[in-house]
Chains A and B, each alone.
Chain A
């Protein structure tokens, strides 16, 4: 069984090199079949490991270098259910994206498939590792592969500029992380997460520890796109190829947050334990700001992929609230939310890809009513919008309900309002765009002006006939949505994750397992709680989103006084916020620096 652990990473990597070596020897279908088979087998490996790890977490030492006297000489993988849930999601999304790409754009020979497989190996390695520097290496590997994938459509200026902004900001994030690692290595003389945690726990929470922590989380915030480190994300997502967007929105940002939870609970919990209340306030506050900024920016977008990108920012904010509550219940809820939301958003991006295929555009206004011929895609799109809102039984409502409840329990009862507001503001524009594009609802000049179409892409991503939608395209979109729906109907889903979350948060048990090979004792399942309240909130959110979408479509019919209030009250701050998203990489780096300084200041004041 343990042999599957290295294979989960090595299989996709080796498959990528084989594909690369076979260049020109095979044809396109050969690459497709081979890549799908490789990703699919990784998915199976991940599922087997996941089920196995719920019975007993496992440690694997590369090169057989198991620790001597608590000193780790080599690199370890730690198989536990939370990490493996994310790894499984990654494998599932990569497989789906490769299937979706069957009819998709003309790839440059095999290079697209090669990169997708390397990306998969990178994500799984990132999830499973128990070593701080390996975490950095696989972070870099994910990043570099993502830069290349983002810039894949070189015929577009926006795509190139987006990937350059992406690469510069994320590289700086990586250097911050490496500096943080250097500080921790200087203090503890270790790179193993558990060993660093044990070493730090005996020392003070001084400047070095706080700085290292700030550098690490700032780096992961860049990847997760937390405000004000988020500017690169909409630029990149709007212009990257659709199958790549699915991975970026569905798993890449989420992995940044996973890393924050991982490094906190394995290394910093002991030394920061006393300041946890303050740390929680900082994290929940940052998450709330991110959720709001993303949601507010989402509304005025007419480029559908950019719209979905800002909704990703908003949802990342909500995940951060969940992770930042620092409790096992909230973590379990966040994992459920994150997985189901990733699937829904993936499905929405797939639908946007179908639009691109059929109409060569994802401009909401430019495509007004043009999607009438593809009503089934329209239905999928609208269902996806409702899934974002958290309409039961989409799994999203379960996760949100648990985060809300746990937040209230910890004294953050306003989180419920935040989650509802952000959900409405991100789901409504999706519904609005869907209703307009697929059914032609609403007047054409909704914004009272005709600017040039924003969603036109220089070249379509597909070369096949545009009068039909290849079945594999909508089947994958439907499959993602279906899995999210089914997940919501599994009773007590998050309760089942709670023992795993308990272990995730137990620094002592983790260190015992990694450094001394002591298996954690089993935790009984907590009693299941009915989610009736959450279901009602989900229903209300969905209804409110439908109502807001209708307002967006027919806002010309609102009374003049109300329009005046909206224009005067919201216009200027809106405009200022939009202007900050300038597309200028220098601006982004300046904000990144400010973000590090502010985070450092906040934590120094509250923990130090």
Chain B
């Protein structure tokens, strides 16, 4: 357990909390993207590059994109 691990872990904990506390979904999609990158970094320092790669393409790109698309769709319907 070195400083790097501790630091990244604390950031991940804060990131997860921030995702939950961001109540507006549009803003949340950006926060969740950052959270995905943080998790990717954590997995990288956990010596899991495979998982880190998965997490970054999915958590930082695909998931936020799907949130945005869902919101866009709902908004377009309201108008």
A and B touch in their complex, CB below 8 angstroms = no
List chain A positions with a Cβ less than 8 A from chain B.
none
